[in-house]
Structure 1
Amino acid sequence: MLIRPASPDDAAAIAALILPEIAAGETYALPRDMDAAAAVAYWCGPDRQTFVLEDEARLLGSYFLCANQAGGGDHVANAGYMVDPAARGRGVARAMANDSFDRARANGFTAMQFNFVVSSNRRAVDLWQALGFDVVGQLPGAFRHPLLGPVDALVMFRKL
Structure 2
Amino acid sequence: MLIREATTGDWPAIWPFFHEIVAAGETFTYPLDLGEADAQDWWLLKSPNRTVVAVAGDGTVLGTAKMNANHMGNGSHIASASYMVDPRHSGRGVGRALCEYTIDWARTGGYRAMQFNAVVETNTAAVRLYRSLGFEVLGTLPEGFNHPAKGFVGVHIMHRPL
TM-score by length of 1: 0.97
**Distance in 2, Cα, partners of 1:49 & 1:83:** 17
Query: Taking every aligned residue pair, what percent have the same amino acid on both sides?
Result: 44
Query: After superposition, where does 1:1-160 map in structure 2 within 5 Å?
Result: 1-46=1-46, 48-55=49-56, 56-160=58-162
Unaligned runs of 5+ in 1: none
Letter of the structure 2 residue corresponding to residue 117 of structure 1: V
**Distance in 2, Cα, partners of 1:66 & 1:45:** 8
- SS of the counterpart of 1:89? coil
**Distance in 1, Cα, partners of 2:139 & 2:69:** 19
Q: 1:62 offset after TM fit, Å?
A: 0.1
Residue pair 1:14, 1:40 contacting (<8 A) in 2 also:
no
- SS of the counterpart of 1:69? coil
List, as ranges, runs of 4+ consecutive aligned residues in structure 1 with deviation greater than 4 Å. none
**Distance in 2, Cα, partners of 1:80 & 1:91:** 16
**Distance in 1, Cα, partners of 2:102 & 2:45:** 17
Unaligned runs of 5+ in 2: none
**Distance in 1, Cα, partners of 2:156 & 2:143:** 10
Residue pair 1:77, 1:113 contacting (<8 A) in 2 also:
yes
**Distance in 2, Cα, partners of 1:46 & 1:5:** 11
- SS of the counterpart of 1:109? coil
- SS of the counterpart of 1:120? coil
Report Cα offsets for 1:85-133 as digits up to 9, x if no partner.
1111110000011111111111111110000000000000010011110
Letter of the structure 1 residue corresponding to residue 98 of structure 2: M
**Distance in 2, Cα, partners of 1:141 & 1:99:** 31
Q: 1:11 offset after TM fit, Å?
A: 1.5
**Distance in 1, Cα, partners of 2:45 & 2:60:** 22
Q: How many residues align?
A: 160
